[in-house]
Amino acid sequence: MLETFLSSFATLLTAQHLMFMTIGVVLGLVVGILPALGGIAGMSLLLPFIYGMDPTSAVAMMIGLLAILPTSDTFSSILMGIPGSSASQATVLDGFPLAKKGEAARALSAAFSASMVGGMFGAIALTGVVLIARPLILSFSSAELFMLAIFGLSMVGVLSGSNLGKGLAACALGLILGTIGTAPAAGGERMSFDSLYLISGLELVIVGLGIFALPEIVDLLRSNQSISSTGKLGSGWFQGVRDTWNSRWLALRCSGLGALIGMIPGLGGSVVDWLAYGHAVQTTKGKTEFGQGDIRGVIAPESANNACAGGALIPTLLFGIPGSGSMAIFLAAMILIGLQPGPAMADPARDLDLTYTIIWTLAIANVVGTALCIVLSPWVAKLTTIKYTIFAPFMIVVISFGAFQATRSFNDMLALLAIGLIGIFLKRFGWPRPAFLIGFVLATQVETYFYQAVQFYGYGFPLRPLALAIGVLTVLSVWFGTRKRPGDAAAASISSEGDAEQAQAKNLMPQIVFTVVVGALFIYAFVDSWELASFLDKVFPMSVAVVGLIACLVVGLPQLRAQKTIAGGGAVAGGSANFDMDANMTDGGPWRFVFWLVGFVALIGLLGYFLALIVFFMTFTRVVAKTSWLNSALLTAGAAAMIMVLTWALNMQMPYGLLQEYFYDSLVWPFR
């Protein structure tokens, strides 16, 4: 064993290995800063270049890229309020409010230091776990995975704040949208409306961007100012590091949670940040600042998602079972360069030295990547000083371009727009979007593991020892998170969608209508599922629909009573029954900017992406940003050049429209 360690370190410290690792880190940094691209796009970028390379050098470059992504995607989450990837969505809740308070440096340094802790912890833990990982992973059957998914759903109560009814309804709405498409049990079609696009369900990247990114873009456009007035990150760099040290036990617990979740195929990075965030809320005192700028809300998810990246390597290397899209491409890349994932990767007589080289490359890459992120932060922060009417069209272009890569169908654009509208309404009426996203992320896992567990073990599967232990842990977690603590009487819940006292409406009908529409959707989902032939195809969506409808009644009945009180001349305080962020708006609301988004999507459908980009950019910068013709032309040229480079470098495609469909042979790239 000692010889294996020494061999791994000797390979790790060679100049060639460090050089290729650094190349991967730099590429990952660029990909991570741009929202919506993430690990799949980054790994796809490397595939053409690693063919024929020395396996160790190729692995160094790939691991360098994978290591930095959970760190670099923090920039857009904190500075712009737009999730850089599915693993950094929870960071937005407290990171962006901190940036708007002028504490961006503190938030970034805490995030980077927590990420480094998570990455190093994952490497150290995995060094010893490699040899015992096989029985650990194999002990998790579908029954245990189902109970883990339920544990994830238990975080909804924590993330719902004081509005548990809205939280449950939002979670149920996410679960219902997650069931769209072919059922995993017998293949029945649910709420697909005979659309080939919907048969495969909605993509996570589209839902994440629609729920979080588009509502934030619209809100910032309405403010008609820059995110930051100075572009300075503040003086909290050392404070952020001290915050991580002060919350070191939280960071270590979340790192352990991240590594464990990463090792279990099927959960992965799309949910670990929410689990860590919920754990932070459950186990810490003084919860009033969560959702408004609590540094612990940054430290927890950032330490977990970096450790998760390391944990996901275990099933990928030892079993050839990828836990995420980026790990699937990493697996394909390993085979491409002549490496065969499997038990041999844990055999000291065969490839164990390479496994340890990979794990410790991940640790070193985390350190190098963290240093680069800190160095580049002041320059990245300058983006936040640009007036948002100029900056927003760039973000809209990048987000729409990234969303299109989900299935490379124009329907991706329509889905992004529809989910964005849902996100705007959820935020406006105080329905917690994190709860919605938790439901959507876990919908497929919960249902798949449920029917597999029933088939293998019958309906008594929750009584299996490990499954029962996870169930007890879930109950304890919920109890621990909801119990009152001394000094927390006024701080029993988090705020995730704004201050209720500033969102009191004199007319509650918009809120009531939204609740009714969501309730009607649950009724439709129940009826649609009832017609399915297979019981296992229908039981999950029908159960969710019933729970969602009950939650809508819990939300809607107080709203109706409050509306009756107002109609009778009485007054109603703010709170769960009266929350409308646009109740007292004076700027006309978000709809003029929503129409711009609709217009952009319509142009894409007619002219294709590249021509639509030019028309949209020129018109938006002239009419909304009120720039000169010269500046508008320069900005449009810059956006067009950026998309052309991304399309070429990442081997991606641009959305096409009717123009390309009828005149494809007459057009030249990039117009086709």
State mean pLDDT over 265-275. Answer: 65
pLDDT value, residue 221 = 81
Supply the DSSP string of 400-452, one letter for each residue: HHHHHTTTSSTHHHHHHHHHHHHHHHHHHTT--HHHHHHHHHHHHHHHHHHHH
Is it the case that residue 380 has pLDDT exceeding 90? Answer: no
Contact 432, 497 (CB under 8 A): yes
Q: What is the pLDDT of residue 42?
A: 65
Name the amino acid, one letter, at 77. S
What's the pLDDT score for residue 630? 92
**Segment 225-265, tens digit of pLDDT:** 655 544 455 556 677 888 888 888 888 888 888 887 777 65
Average pLDDT rounded to a whole number, residues 145-173: 76
Q: What is the pLDDT of residue 552?
A: 92
62-78 average pLDDT score: 80
pLDDT at 28: 79
pLDDT interval class at 222 (50, 70, 90): confident
The rounded percent of the chain whose pLDDT value lies above 70 is 78
Q: Is the pLDDT of residue 140 over 80?
A: no
Which has more pLDDT, 342 or 658?
658
Q: Residue 582 — pLDDT band, cuts 50, 70, 90? A: confident
The per-residue pLDDT for 647 is: 80
Question: Is residue 285 scored above 80 in pLDDT?
Answer: no
Q: What is the Cα–Cα distance from 215 to 235, expressed in whole angstroms?
A: 30
Q: For residue 489, name the pLDDT band (cuts at 50, 70, 90).
A: very low
Tokens of 267: 């959960």
Q: For residues 420 and 647, which has the higher predicted lDDT (pLDDT)?
A: 420
pLDDT at 586 over 90: no
More confident residue, 399 or 615: 615
Check residues 114 and 354 and name the one with the higher pLDDT.
114
In this model, does residue 501 exceed pLDDT 70? no
Average pLDDT, the chain: 78
pLDDT value of position 509: 87
Residue 490 has pLDDT above 60, yes or no: no
Confidence bin at 519 (pLDDT 50/70/90) = very high
Burial class from Cβ neighbours inside 10 Å (0-12, 13-18, 19+) for residue 570 reads exposed
Of all residues in the chain, the percent with pLDDT exceeding 90 is: 9
Distance CA 381, CA 462 (A): 49
pLDDT digits (tens, 9 = 90+) for 167-206: 889 989 999 998 898 887 777 888 888 888 888 888 877 8
Tens of pLDDT, residues 302-357: 888 888 877 777 777 776 666 555 676 677 777 777 777 766 666 666 667 777 78
In this prediction, residue 421 carries a pLDDT of 92
Q: Between these two residues, 301 and 335, which has the higher pLDDT value? A: 301
Q: What residues form DSSP beta bridges with 462? A: none
pLDDT at 228: 53
**Is the distance from CB of 424 to CB of 212 less than 8 angstroms?**
no
Angle at 102 between CA 582 and CA 499, to 5 degrees: 30
Calpha distance 74→33 (Å, rounded): 8
